[in-house]
Structure 1
């Protein structure tokens, strides 16, 4: 669910109330909330003012990411990784306990469902968004469980780099599983 809708629901406001106050059509606001339409820059500002939050928050961008993009226009994977962890820490999402780990695991699963829908519909925009969201949720989950996702990735690569097997219908099957 996008942040426009989350904020509106958390404040127990109707689409009609928000749309009227901000000066946009109710059905337009609904399209923004369902991500069927992207607000113009001026509308992002009006909505951010209405909810008293930064535009970057409404757009789902980590504050550190926004600041860095403004300076360099690009980030390395490691910089993004750190910005995402900082963003999650700023929002008290990482507590390194079982309950928050379970909540974040549910978020990873939700994003996997979204990429499945994107692939099934051949929706390139949805696939790209979902891949990014999956990475964000995995980085936060790993941090919450006290793992470094980059270390996990390195370990996984070291396991698979010399693995032998065969690709069948686009899926790699380990050699040991071919003989079962």
Structure 2
């Protein structure tokens, strides 16, 4: 039996309930369960999140294959970027009306990063850096920007910049007062 159908039945849910909860049409869910149609990556993530199981479980991947894939590395930055946007859209977080609230989340995470660095707490620092990236991706979406485009633009500006590192801080050439 297909894992999607198996988990739905084990939770006592109907196709109609899952469709209403996830926003995926009932007939599409039926096609996924009968393997007449393959879900997109974002849909696998949405359904795994909905059922609170790993995507690999839903896809029916053998554990050996999952471990092999895990050893190869995690998702690319672009895949993570897309997954975070999908996650935020699924929770109705992304909205131009949320710009100021999302900006406050960014600054809140910056404060946690400062605390992690000041307390030399490696786990908190790492977690805060990740959280900052998530909040920035969502903020960029709220502003109708693609954070990857913003990053590319910033790199194009700095890639040939000349200057000097003073006390661990890079100072661009035009700001040097020598």
Q: TM-score range by the shorter chain?
A: 0.5 to 0.7
The match for 1:91 is 91
Match of 2:147 in 1: 149
Q: How far apart, in 2, do the equivalents of 1:162 and 1:147 lie?
A: 24
TM-score of the superposition, structure 2-length normalised? 0.61
Q: Residue deviations 1:43-102, cap 9 Å, x none? A: xxxxxxxxxxxxxxxxxxx9399526985432111100000000000000012x2x3011
Measured in 2, the distance between the counterparts of 1:77 and 1:100 equals 24
Per the TM alignment, residue 169 of structure 1 is displaced from its structure 2 partner at its CA by 1.2
8 Å Cα contact 1:94-1:144 kept in structure 2: yes
- The gaps in structure 2 that reach 5 residues or longer are 1-47
Larger Cα Rg: Structure 1 or Structure 2?
2
CA–CA distance in structure 2, aligned partners of residues 86 and 173 of structure 1: 38
Q: CA RMSD in A?
A: 2.4
Unaligned runs of 5+ in 1: 1-61
What is the rounded CA distance, in whole Å, between the counterparts of 1:66 and 1:113 in structure 2?
31
Q: Which residue, out of 164, 170, 175, partners 1:177?
A: 175
The match for 2:105 is 107
Q: Alignment partner of 1:146: what SS?
A: coil
Q: Does 1:138 align with 2:136?
A: yes
Tell me the secondary structure at the aligned position of residue 165 of structure 2: strand
Contact 1:68 1:75 in 2 (8 A): no
Aligned to 2:119: 121
> Per the alignment, do residues 173 and 94 of structure 1 end up closer, same or farther by CA in structure 2, a change over 3 Å counting?
same
Size of the alignment, in residue pairs? Answer: 117
| In 2, Cα distance between equivalents of 1:79 and 1:140 | 15
